[in-house]
Chains A and B, each alone.
Chain A
Amino acid sequence: MSATAMNAAPSASAAALLPRLRAALPGEALLTEAEDLHPYECDGLSVYRGVPLAVALPATAEAAAQVLRLCREAGVPVIARGAGTGLSGGATPRAGTVVLSLARLNRILEIDPLARVARVQPGVRNLAISEAAAPLGLYYAPDPSSQIACTIGGNVAENSGGVHCLKYGLTVHNLLRLKVATIDGEIIELGAEALDAPGYDLLALFTGSEGLLGVVVEATVRLIPKPECARVVLAAFDDLGKAGQAVADIIGAGIIPAGLELMDQPAIAAVEPFVHAGYPLDAAAILLCESDGTPEEVAEEIVRMEAVMSAAGATDCRVSRDEAERLRFWAGRKAAFPAVGRISPDYYCMDGSIPKKCLAAVLEAIRGMERKYGLRCANVFHAGDGNLHPLILFDANKPDELHRTEAFGGEILELCVRHGGSITGEHGVGIEKIDQMCVQFGSEELEVFHALKHAFDPEGLLNPGKAVPTLHRCAEFGRMKVHGGQLPHPELPRF
C-alpha cells in the first residue's frame, strides 16, 4: 500500500464531523492533536502507518454506538481498535478516518461461577479474564501470545488462537454472546447465554471478521475448569521428517496434547544461548508436547507420549519434573521471536497453516528457498494444529535483502495454499495479507465476502480496505517487518 493512499487529505464532511463528536463525547474522550494521534498510527505491524482524523475513546457501549452513528452520517470510515497488538495491520488507520478505541470499556461486568461465564467489556485484557476467574478454579481458554495486553474485543475480531487451541479451541469456540454496535449506531445481540440462538449463526460469522461488520461492545465468554496439573515432554530429533512423523503418530495414537510445538535447528540455536531452556543444540528439531488433567491422567498420558516419540525416533525425551522445569521448557519456545531478533538485524514473521502431513515437505521446501534467496529462516510451529511461523532473517540495510525476503515469504504462503493450507492461521489478513487472499480464494468467493460486508455495512465504512481485497487488487505482497529485532510491544512474548 502506498503512503499517499494511506494519508490522503481529509474531506470536508470529515472536518464537519469533529464538532459533532466533540459534542457527543467528554473532552478527554476525543483526540485530535497530532501528538495525541501519534500512538494510534499503527498496530503491531508497524510497517504500515496512517494518521487518523481523530481518535474517539468512549466510556460506554452507547457512546461507542453514537460515534458509529455520527461517522455514518458524515460518511467517515471507522477503524475499531483494542490494544493495538494485532500483527496484520487490521487496526492501521488512514488519513480522514476515525479510530474508535475500546480501551476505556475495560470492565469485567460479571462472572457467574455456576454458569461458568464471564460478561466483559471489549477493552478487557484476555489474561485479566483468567486472572479474575482463577479463584473460582476457572479460566478463559484461548491464550494468544499477546494475552497480557491484547483485549477480548480484538480477540473476537481476529478469532485469536494460542498454544492450547488444538484441545481447547479458538475464540469462536469459547464465545456465547456478543453485543455489537452496528454502523447505524444500533446495538444488536448475536448468540445467547443459551448454547444456541435462533436463525443464522451470526456469532460465528462475526468472529474473525476483523472489524468489517461491526464493533464488539460486550462479550460473554465461556470459562472452563482449570486442569489440576500439566507436564511437558521435551523430545529431540536428529531429522525433521522424524519430528513431523512423531506429530502425526501422537495424534494417530488418539492423544490430543494440550500443546504440541515444534522448533527447528536454527530456532533452537537462536533460543538456547539466550534462554538456557535446556534444548539440545545438536538436534535437527525438538518437540514440546504437553499433557494436562488430573495427576493420574497426566502420568498415564505422558508415558504414552514418550513411547510414541521414542518409537518415532526421538534421540532424547525429557519430562518436566516440576512446574519450574515445565515453565523453563516453554520459556525457550515463548522467547523464539526476540531470540531471533538478537541474531539478525531484521526478520519477517510469516503465519501460514498446512495439513500436518505436509510438515516435512514444507520445511524441506523452505530449506530450498533459503538457498534460492540466500537468506536464513528459523521455524517455530504450532505443530498440533498445523500453524507455521517461519522467521526469515535479513538485513534491511543491505540492498536487495528486503526484496528477496518478500519474495521468499510470498513463496512460503503460496506453498501453504498449494498444500491445502491457509495464508493465515491466526494473525488475520488485515492489510498484510490482503493480496494473498487472491491466492487462496477465487473471485466468486471474494464477491460473496464483499456482499456479506455490504449486508452489515452498505456504505463500506467499517475498516475499509482490510481483510478482503477488491477484485482488481491482487498484485503486491506485504508482511510483518521487524527492524533491528524490535517488535512493537517488545515486552510481549510472540509465538
Chain B
Amino acid sequence: MSEDVAALSERILAAAANGRALCIRGAGSKDFYGGPLQGEPLDTIGLRGIVDYEPTELVVTARAGTPLAELEAALAERGQVLPFEPPRFGGGTLGGAVAAGLSGPRRPYAGAARDFVLGLRLLDGQGRHLRFGGQVIKNVAGFDVSRLLTGSLGTLGLLTEVTLKTLPRPPAETSLRFELDEATALRRMNEWAARPLPLSASSYHDGALRLRLSGAEAAVREACGKLGGVAFSGGDYWDGLRDQHDAFFKSAATLWRVSLPQTAPPLRGDAPQLIEWGGALRWLAGSQDAVALRRQAAELGGHATLFRGADKSAGVFQPLPAALAQLHRRIKAVLDPAGIFNRGRLYPEF
C-alpha cells in the first residue's frame, strides 16, 4: 500500500471503529447527484496521475483522483478517447466518473461507463486495499466486482485506481439536423439504429432531431448521403449535452432523468424535455409528481431519477423491489459492514 492509500485506509479503520460516516469525494463536481452528502469528507483528489497507458493495448490505468481532463488529454495525444464520454460537469475525476457510472451522448452506440471498466482497486469498509478485474480486455476469472462498483456512488468503497478500455478517436465526424415532431423523431432514431450506420449520438429538443455520425471517412460520407438533413458543426453542441452546460440543462433548477426503452412512446405531460440516447433517455425540466412519473416510467419498462433539485424528499432513485433491495443490503454489508461510506447517497436505508 502506498503512503497516501495507507493514510486513507487508517482513516477508514478509525471511522469504522466508531461507526462514523465518511463522505468520499473527488473534485466534488457531482455533489448535486444522489442523496444529500453526509459524514466527514474523505478526499481522493491526492490520488492523482496516470499509472500506465499503453495505446496499442487500448488500456489505461490511472489513480482515482486524476482529473478527467488530464486523462482525456493524455489519450488525445495518442489519438484515443474514453468512448463512453463521461460527463465532466466542469471538472470531474476518473474515480467520480466510475463511482457515478454516468455516460455521455455516445452511450447507446458505444457502451456505458461499466462496459469500459476492466479493473479497479478500492479500499473497502475494513480498510483493505483490494484489486478486482485486471489490465486485459478478456478476463473472466472471479465475479465482476469492478462493474458492480461502477455506478455504486461510493457506497461500497473508495476507489483508488481504475483501468479502462480506450478506443481510437473516430477519424471523421459530422452532425445532422432534422425538423420533426417527437413521435416521428423517436421512430427515426430507432429505425436508423437498426441499419449499419455510424451513429454516435442523437438528441431531440424543440422540434429538432440531431444526429452525430462518427467513423471512417467513407462510412460517414455514405451515411450523410443516405440520411439527408442539414449538416451542422456539432462539437460544442454535443459537449453541451455531455457536460450539461447546454441552455436546456442550465435553465433547469430541477432536473429529472427518465431512463426508458429506446422505443417507448412520448411521455405524458408538457414539461420541457430533451431526449437523448436514441430515445432511451428523456430529461424533464422542472418539478414533477414523483410518484406519477415513476409509475409511468415503470409501466414503460424504465425508471426515473431526480437528477438535480433542491427538494429531494421524493427520493433520488426509483425504489427497488423488495427482493432486490434485500440483495443490495447484503452486498453493501459485504464491502462496508459498518455502513460508513456515503450514507444515504444511493438509498436512504444505507
Contacts and interface: CB of A to CB of B under 8 A. Distances in A.
A16 interface: no
Given A296-B218, A357-B57, A448-B124, A202 B327 contact: yes
A455 B334 contact: yes
Contacts of A199: 317, 320, 324, 328, 346-347
B144 to A, nearest CB: 5
Contact of B138 (A113, A255, A387, A468): A387
17 contacts: A137-B196, A170-B138, A193-B261, A193-B301, A195-B262, A196-B112, A198-B305, A199-B317, A199-B320, A205-B145, A225-B193, A225-B195, A252-B56, A353-B138, A433-B141, A440-B142, A468-B143
Interface of B: 54-59, 79, 101, 107-108, 111-112, 114-115, 124, 128, 130-132, 134-145, 147-148, 150-152, 156, 167-169, 171, 187, 190-191, 193-197, 215-219, 222, 259-263, 277, 280-281, 301-303, 305, 317-318, 320-321, 323-324, 327-328, 330-331, 333-335, 346-347
The residue among B54, B112, B261 with the most chain A CB atoms within 10 A of its own CB is: B261
A208 B132 CA distance: 14
A218 interface: no
A87 to B, nearest CB: 12
Interface stretch (A18-26, A33-41, A415-423): A415-423
Interface stretch (A77-85, A159-167, A328-336, A476-484): A159-167
Interface string A448-462: 110111111000000
The residue among B54, B114, B147 with the most chain A CB atoms within 10 A of its own CB is: B147
A94 interface: no
A170 B136 CA distance: 13
Interface in A299-321: 299-301
Interface in A405-434: 420-429, 433
Given A195-B108, A200-B148, A468-B142, A115 B190 contact: yes
Contact of B135 (A115, A228, A355): A355
Interface of A: 112-116, 136-138, 158-159, 161, 165-166, 169-170, 172-173, 182, 186, 188-189, 192-202, 204-205, 207-209, 212-213, 225-228, 248-249, 251-252, 254-256, 293-294, 296-297, 299-301, 353-357, 382, 385-387, 420-429, 433, 437, 440-442, 444-445, 448-449, 451-456, 467-468
Contact of B57 (A186, A195, A356): A356
Contact of B139 (A225, A294, A422, A454): A422
Contacts of B335: 448
What are the 6 A-B residue pairs with the smallest beta carbon separation, nearest first?
Answer: A204-B147, A254-B168, A455-B330, A422-B139, A425-B138, A248-B56
A420 B107 contact: no
Contact of A296 (B138, B222, B320): B222
